[in-house]
Amino acid sequence: MKSFSFVSLGCDKNLVDSEVVIGKLLSSEYTKITSPEAADLIVINTCCFIDEAIQETEFWIDRLVQIKRDNPGKTLVVMGCYPQRYGKQLSSKYPEVDFWIGVNDFPFINEILTQKAPNQVFINKPLYLYDESTERLLSTPSHYAYVKITEGCNHRCSYCVIPSIRGKQRSRQINSIQKEALQLVDQGVKEIILIGQDIGHFGLDWSGKKELANLLHALDHSLPNRTWIRLLYLSPDSIDNRLIETIAASEKICKYLDVPLQHVHPLILQNMNRSSNIKKTLENLNTLRQTIPDLFLRTTMMVGFPGETDAIFNQMVSVIKSFRFERLGCFIYSPQSGTPASQLTYQVEDEIKQARYQNIMKIQKKIANDFHRSLVGKTLEVILDQGPLPKKPSIFLGRTYGDAPDVDGHIKVKVNKNSKTIRSGDILRVTVSKSTAYDLEGIYS
């Protein structure tokens, strides 16, 4: 039996694609191993969203190409966003790569691998959408899984390459998602994480209206108790009263929403080709907070977009200080070739971008520290990710309902009951005993 090694870069949506390919290969003649040096087949799933992602992708391709040079006879496959974006020009740049596979063609990897000619390119219009019957091997811990409910994006943010790579939004059917979620629960998954470029507009392509509330209603009524449903990535203009009411009424949907704002100044938002009515957006977010007690709101801001003056940046700072998001991430704008924003005048100098980024993160650290301090003494639902820790049989690491995997912090849980009955994936009610800016400690007794 042949062996393969897999490298997966980029976001959680990319990770699902990687899991599909791994499932496809395992259903064929391959077995998975860790070492690319020892594998017959090496596959890398790439990312090229921003400059840092491109640099990481090219670093890995260079490394894997060298492994192939040192170990002739291997097959090297580069798949995903990087070949979809740059296409056939990559063939001459990396002649050692056997197959370039875009975001539409990776499900056919077993068929592609039967081709004999070297350096082939399989890049077609992105139309693919997986369903509950697709082979897939989870690479996350066994108690949580990402479920991609949409693919592509209909927004045309001026700085973003995703629509040109992933295509227009395609939404899965509710019954398909429901079946997959139930299959995952049967495998032991306790946290279903719904993802897409903008899940708030789920269903708009086949229904003509937003269907996320209907999907959540279906999942809420079909999944067993003590299951978490987490929502990632809703555009600000996708949140309506019905969605808010659905989240508020459910005991399974995590009171946690990731709503990337990117900026707060109307001129910058207009040049980003995003909704520029920031007043209405903040009013909607305040309604969320008022309607859903103990809600954790996460957002993302971008600094250094063309035309961002000191005064405009200071307005962002003012909103961050006054609104006090429970969770906030920040990106430094990097111009991407082929995007409208890369052609804008008044590009911000790199040193200024870096200083603004550091400023935002310093402010958010203070906000997060104050917020976490306010949680001390409160009892929160926590899912255990790891434990017991080595030589500490009563200590586990977990996440509150307000913490998504990888992007947020964790809580160290001391179990005062019989810890032998506790395991990863358990959902406990934990009393917070100590806090730092990004992590917590708590007691389960």
pLDDT score at 91: 86
pLDDT tens per residue, range 200-257: 999 999 999 999 999 999 999 999 999 999 999 999 999 999 999 999 999 999 999 9
- What pLDDT sits at residue 133? 92
Query: Does residue 420 carry a pLDDT above 80?
Result: no
What is the chain's length?
445
Give the integer Cα–Cα distance in Å for 175 and 131: 10
- 153 annotated ligand binder: yes
Mean pLDDT within 124-142: 93
Residue 318: the pLDDT is 98
In the chain, the domains with their CATH numbers are 2-122 (3.40.50.12160), 144-367 (3.80.30.20), 379-444 (2.40.50.140)
Instruction: State yes or no: 48 annotated in a binding site.
Output: no
Whether 72 has a pLDDT exceeding 90, the answer reads no
Q: What is the dihedral of CA 52, 148, 125, 55, to 10 degrees?
A: 10
Of all helices (H) and strands (E), which one includes residue 99? strand 99-101
In the structure encoding, which two tokens stand for residue 196, read together?
Answer: 């897409």
**What confidence tier does 327 reach under pLDDT thresholds 50, 70, 90?**
very high
Is 330 marked as a binding-site residue? no
- Res 118: pLDDT: 77
E strands, 169-325, are 170-171, 191-195, 228-231, 253-258, 296-303
pTM: predicted TM-score of the whole model, two decimal places: 0.95
- Averaged pLDDT, 268-279: 92
47 is in an annotated binding site: yes
| C-alpha Rg value of the chain to the nearest Å | 23
pLDDT average, residue stretch 379-386: 97
Tens digit of each residue's pLDDT (9 = 90 or more) over 340-371:
999 999 999 999 999 999 999 999 999 999 99
Q: What DSSP element (H or E) covers 382?
A: strand 379-386
Mean pLDDT score, 177-184 = 98
d(CA 111, CA 345): 47
Closest CA to 11 of 401, 408, 439, 407: 407
